[in-house]
A and B are shown apart, each in its own frame.
Chain A
């Protein structure tokens, strides 16, 4: 049995390091969100805007540090059985929910049993992988029972607050989607849909002396220029994202700090492999050569994204940076001719009004493919309809992104493994499946990395996804906001944040 532990001492040391200068407790942070949370039930919502609120309200068994490494949180230590089928987590004894009730193993069991229950309809269930049940052996020990080994489970129990521990009370009294109760640094005091979410300090928070802020007022400001002017005038202290086209203006502004980091995310063109002629690898290769990723990235992100041909951002420890293609319309045209389409063909591309950048990207792609004879029709849909068409496979190609990815598993498994729920392209490659299964049971970092590099290469070559760029996570705040840093996993954590004013 392999035992992974990180001592409380080390944790204290980390805390002390961050407490190293004169911090001021108290005050209210006015934070601007770009989108209204879509339900605050962590197990139901998939909206980044909801999960970013919950980031400050719930805790997970394990957590990720800024580099994406797994660290203890509600669980102080954990071990996995030698067959990889049973994970045991040892919980802290001093944790209370924000309503004052102590948290025990029963709450962990409740949380994950609810998630596994098909009646809940959780879309996030995939994070638990092959977990069949979660049980407690005593008040502070829980066990996950898996059908097949799953290395990524440890990361997934920390990857975002969809897997956060919730109090049964808020489900029973029906407030789970507006006021879920958790053990995090803040609790939801008020939620006015479309307007604001008010977070108040959790008096029972288990990390001594934290949080520093009394309150966080999350204002929902959908108009990017309004967030920008609010930040410049000091009406808001912190903004979740800023319009990339005015990045330089904000960077030059007095009193504003722009924090930019490459996100664990990628934008891509999804190709329907069930439609001719897109099922021909040569045709997909031609598209890969025909698109100018720099122009697309410029049009979509105004230069803040990093053009890429594979999914994992260069900043990640798992990065491979495989780039076999170049912008070469002549070669693309020749590949099309070899595939039997010297005069091109007609196809549709499906962006969504939910993400205006996808429509901008689609227009550039349309122009570039037209140059090699592929006549592209843009069919942009509103989100509700887009999701339905993507889910049913009613598309030729679409433009979208995956976000909040940490483990290499996140970049490939659910999207490309045969028959997986998010495999909307219909991609199926036994060699890739075998490697993905292997990657999921391999503990050793170097071996695992080698496996995912092979997967990476095969996916880029087979091109069910045509990768475009890794976006940046850009947040901006007034210079008196301290103890905050933008994270690659796009988590927004105010636990250590304080106001120097």
Chain B
């Protein structure tokens, strides 16, 4: 892979992030309502709203606000303070980012636990009842709304069976068991859906490899089916599967936003929603920028890994 290609991709990434930051700023004057009004609530008078907006710095020209915001991030890694609760946003991000990442990885894990076995099983017997079953399940899994699945899981496991907490988060400091109990339902919600999508990719990746000459040769040599699958098929399908994982991380992240809101999971997604509703612009901008960055970085890494794993892919 050429160094120039990498530089070019990084340049595009920065350009896109710059665009995202501009766009999040450009929408501010379009959104009705102001954080000052939200804070003051029904007690707001025009004079107090104006005074508070002045204190929040919202009466400065937009370009000035933008420059001070961007320079804070670039020079000091500082996202500014929340307009509503006055807390430094960087501190909130430090606490919430791990929660989002843990949820995303747990969901990915559950997704892979579903996708890999079912994808392999159905690829080995294409057209069988097993294959059909997997494919029906995965179609349903892809079509189920994440927020509805979340509700159904809460209804069943929290409200009827009382096995798991219906939402919220327990820090690791409260012990491993409460931690895992809290993460299970939200991770399963996002995981089942992404697992269903991935199962189809795993299946087709396997099918492609199974159709290759060396697999036929291996089988013709009378090798044990188990050995063929393990030694030849899985190893070669792995490349595609890694790429799929990368692509899935991006989809998964947007699913995680919804799941966080449903399960009151204290991550970046629920922070972004609250910020939107409260018009807490710096918090919204910070979370959008972080999501966009992770999207872009994941996409880049996926592309790069694809190039690395499969030399036949051209990268010009």
Query: Contacting A193 at CB < 8 Å: which of B33, B47, B85, B162?
Result: B85
Inter-subunit contact A235/B165 (CB<8 Å): yes
A222 contacts across to B, CB distance below 8 A: 264
Which residues of chain A in 156-209 are interfacial with respect to chain B, using CB atoms and an 8 Å cutoff?
Answer: 174-178, 191-195
A119 and B53 CA atoms in complex are apart in Å by: 10
Inter-subunit contact A178/B44 (CB<8 Å): no
Interface of A with B (CB < 8 Å)? 36-41, 44-47, 118-126, 174-178, 191-195, 219, 221-223, 225-226, 229-230, 233, 235, 382-385, 387-388, 390-391, 400, 402, 421-422
Tell me if B52 is interfacial: C-beta within 8 Å of chain A: yes
Query: Contacting B38 at CB < 8 Å: which of A387, A400, A422?
Result: A387
Min distance, Cβ A189 to any Cβ of chain B, angstroms: 15
A365 and B87 CA atoms in complex are apart in Å by: 41
Inter-subunit contact A223/B43 (CB<8 Å): no
Inter-subunit contact B41/A388 (CB<8 Å): no
Which residues of chain B in 40-88 are interfacial with respect to chain A, using CB atoms and an 8 Å cutoff?
Answer: 40-52, 54-55, 82, 84-87
Min distance, Cβ A46 to any Cβ of chain B, angstroms: 3
B274 contacts across to A, CB distance below 8 A: 36, 194
Closest to A126 in B: B43
Tell me if B168 is interfacial: C-beta within 8 Å of chain A: yes
B154 contacts across to A, CB distance below 8 A: 225
Min distance, Cβ B42 to any Cβ of chain A, angstroms: 6
Query: Contacting B85 at CB < 8 Å: which of A125, A191, A225?
Result: A191
Min distance, Cβ B96 to any Cβ of chain A, angstroms: 8
By secondary structure, the B interface counts as helix
A158 and B44 CA atoms in complex are apart in Å by: 21
Tell me if B32 is interfacial: C-beta within 8 Å of chain A: yes
A123 and B50 CA atoms in complex are apart in Å by: 11
Name which of A120, A125, A387, A421 has the most chain B CB atoms within 10 A of its CB.
A387
A252 and B75 CA atoms in complex are apart in Å by: 59
Contact-size category for B:
35 or more
Min distance, Cβ B263 to any Cβ of chain A, angstroms: 9
- If A119-B51, A222-B264 touch, whether A46 touches B34 (CB-CB below 8 Å) is no
A36 contacts across to B, CB distance below 8 A: 85, 274
B240 contacts across to A, CB distance below 8 A: none
- If A37-B85, A45-B39, A178-B87 touch, whether A225 touches B44 (CB-CB below 8 Å) is no
Inter-subunit contact B37/A44 (CB<8 Å): no
Inter-subunit contact B87/A383 (CB<8 Å): no
Interface of B with A (CB < 8 Å)? 32-52, 54-55, 82, 84-87, 92, 95, 154, 158-159, 162, 165-169, 264, 266, 270-271, 274, 277-279
Closest to A119 in B: B51
A174 and B55 CA atoms in complex are apart in Å by: 12
Cβ-closest 7 pairs across A and B: A384-B33, A121-B51, A123-B43, A46-B41, A177-B86, A121-B52, A123-B40
Inter-subunit contact B50/A38 (CB<8 Å): no
Closest to A391 in B: B44
Closest to A384 in B: B33
A333 and B1 CA atoms in complex are apart in Å by: 80
A41 and B84 CA atoms in complex are apart in Å by: 10
Closest to A387 in B: B37
A382 contacts across to B, CB distance below 8 A: 33, 277
Inter-subunit contact B34/A388 (CB<8 Å): yes
Min distance, Cβ B304 to any Cβ of chain A, angstroms: 35
A120 contacts across to B, CB distance below 8 A: 51
A281 and B165 CA atoms in complex are apart in Å by: 53
Inter-subunit contact B159/A384 (CB<8 Å): no
Closest to A125 in B: B48
Inter-subunit contact A223/B264 (CB<8 Å): yes
A195 contacts across to B, CB distance below 8 A: 169, 266
A385 contacts across to B, CB distance below 8 A: 32-33
Inter-subunit contact A123/B45 (CB<8 Å): yes
Min distance, Cβ A135 to any Cβ of chain B, angstroms: 23
A41 and B85 CA atoms in complex are apart in Å by: 9
Inter-subunit contact B48/A122 (CB<8 Å): yes
Min distance, Cβ B173 to any Cβ of chain A, angstroms: 13
B158 contacts across to A, CB distance below 8 A: 229
Inter-subunit contact B165/A384 (CB<8 Å): no
Inter-subunit contact A177/B36 (CB<8 Å): no
- If A38-B278, A194-B266, A229-B158 touch, whether A44 touches B44 (CB-CB below 8 Å) is no
